[in-house]
Amino acid sequence: MKSKNIPADIRAKTIKEAQNEINDIIENLENKETKLEISIEKYNRMMQLNHHVQDKFKEKAREISQVSVNKNKEKKS
Q: pLDDT digit string (tens) for 54-66?
A: 999 999 999 999 9
Q: Kindly tell me the sign of the dihedral angle through the C-alpha atoms of 59, 61, 67, 70.
A: negative
CA atoms of 30 and 42, how far apart (whole Å): 11
Q: What pTM does this model have?
A: 0.80
The number of angstroms, rounded, from the C-alpha of 77 to the middle of its chain's C-alpha atoms is 38
CA atoms of 52 and 26, how far apart (whole Å): 17
Residue 14: helix, strand or coil by DSSP? coil
> What percent of the chain clears pLDDT 90, i.e. is strictly above it?
73
Residues lower than pLDDT 70 in the chain: 1-3, 77
